Structure 1
Amino acid sequence: MHETNNPPLSEVCAWQAREYTVRHLCQREKLLTVDFVLHARGIAESWLRSAVVGDHLGIIGTRMSRELPEQPHILAIGDATALPALARLVNSTPESSCLRIFLLADQESLGRSFPSSNNADITWVDPLRDPISQLMQLLDDSPLQHGTWAWIAGEASQVGMIRRLLVDDHFLEKERIHFTGYWKLNTPAIH
């Protein structure tokens, strides 16, 4: 990792850029790990498919990265695009918190490298078989603990629908939900 001074904002705006979750940063070894989920198209996909050792990658630093508040009960829901952030969550959640994760993604193709933890209950939800209905049934079968804090990320309309269901059907306070639409169906990358 080679550090340089930040370029002027006018140069930054000319770049094609997206935000990605840092999975791990080792200052001593100057090693930055970022996971990417490949889609049919997008900035990262184009770069990844043609990248070779020695290619440059600009890193500007964090803009929105947030640590989750330390809470006794955390619910995290995400699709395949949220896997890197969810993996970071598994690795960084304190042992004192109970972490419940629902992955709306294909476990067979994506689950091999997903981390586990003693305090994390991880459930894979088939994304091709009405994942929202499956998710709501799972939540109905095992209600949320009082004071649960939620994190949701993935396709924007699904994220909005899940948030509304958590508020309306599971009585989670809006202030206790962090949600991010990483992408929109039939739209180029937005995140």
Structure 2
Amino acid sequence: MSDAPFDFFDTHVLRTERLSPSFVRVTFGGDCLARFAGGGRDQRFKLFLPHPGQARAELPTDPLNWYPAWREMDPAERAVMRSYTVREQRHSPEELDVEFALHGDTGPASRWATRARPGDHAVLLGPTVADNGGVDFRPPPDTDWVLLSGDETALPAIAGILDWLPAGTEARVWLEVPDPADRRWLPTRARSEIIWTCRGRSAISMHDSIRDAVLPGGTPYAWIAGEAGGVRALRRVLVNERGFDRRQVTFTGYWRRGTTEDQLLTEGTLAAVGED
């Protein structure tokens, strides 16, 4: 056990559920998850997976200085690392749901999630305090309504935010998914309006839909995430065309077209899209 605000959690797969063509939910278990202090909303954590043929994920033991030690390990042996969002956490018994956006066998996490079975090993690096740096959705006190937007990689985070929003919160939500069958009910106590677009199939793009939408009055707060280039472009729409104060927009690149997460880690740009 560590005194750090984050720690490693040794877990195993309890069950999986295919939610739609592009999503599978993996439920992790382990008594150690009692110490996982998720802050709700878009709570981010690191997931470490074993390579094919390995029974366990191999990684350093020190949660404070893990990254330099992990980088020094043999890439063929060290655990595969990816960033994900907590979809839901439950206690007694300890369970944590993660929803994986699938893209075939083109990435190790997608391959692992597609084939995950009960008992499979994984390690989480997550928070031990609820107010932690892995939560980005933080609307200012004077916020009158919120705008949420993202592609399929951001759908679990948006679902978590909607689940967290206080009753009566005004929310406008745009989600872009690969397949029409990926659309689903997202529970919330907020007064939400959700607009789904399907990449390459919808009559209007998500960006154009937001550009042309009739938005509520008052002070907005926007949270947008997904492919880095698209996130930057949408931020320009909100600030330059829709009149949002740039300080009222939280924007995060979950991935970059044509770039693997390993390459982003090497560049030191994971979960960041940069200022224009």
- Report the TM-score, using the length of structure 1 for normalisation: 0.86
Identity of aligned residues (%): 30
Whether 2:117 is the aligned partner of 1:52: answer yes
Distance (Å, rounded) in 1 between the aligned partners of 2:203 and 2:107: 24
CA contact (8 A) 1:21 1:84 kept: yes
Q: Quick one: structure 1 residues 94 and 139, their matched pair in 2 at CA, closer, same or farther if it must change by over 3 Å?
A: farther
Q: Quick one: structure 1 residues 114 and 173, their matched pair in 2 at CA, closer, same or farther if it must change by over 3 Å?
A: same
Whether 2:227 is the aligned partner of 1:151: answer no
Whether 2:71 is the aligned partner of 1:25: answer no
- Offset, 1:108: 2.3
- Report the TM-score, using the length of structure 2 for normalisation: 0.61
Alignment partner for residue 7 of structure 1, among 24, 48, 61?
61
With 5-14 and 27-36 compared, the bigger mean Cα shift is at: 5-14
CA contact (8 A) 1:144 1:170 kept: no
CA contact (8 A) 1:107 1:124 kept: no
Structure having the higher helix fraction is 1
Task: Tell me the equivalent position of 2:101.
Answer: 37
CA contact (8 A) 2:162 2:186 kept: no
Could you say which structure has the larger radius of gyration? 2
CA deviations 1:40-68 (Å, max 9, x no partner) are 42232122133221111101104522343
Distance (Å, rounded) in 1 between the aligned partners of 2:206 and 2:224: 16
- Within a 5 Å distance, the mapping from 1:5-154 to structure 2 comes to 7-8=61-62, 9=66, 12-13=70-71, 14-40=78-104, 41-62=106-127, 63-69=133-139, 71-106=143-178, 108-112=180-184, 114-115=186-187, 117=189, 119-128=191-200, 133-154=205-226
- Offset, 1:95: 1.1
- Offset, 1:3: 1.9
With 142-151 and 128-137 compared, the bigger mean Cα shift is at: 128-137
* Count of equivalent residues: 191
- Offset, 1:73: 0.3
- Offset, 1:116: 5.3
Gaps of 5+ in 2: 1-29, 36-59, 72-77, 128-132, 265-269, 271-276
Distance (Å, rounded) in 2 between the aligned partners of 1:140 and 1:146: 18
Distance (Å, rounded) in 1 between the aligned partners of 2:243 and 2:178: 29
- Offset, 1:186: 1.6
Structure having the higher strand fraction is 2
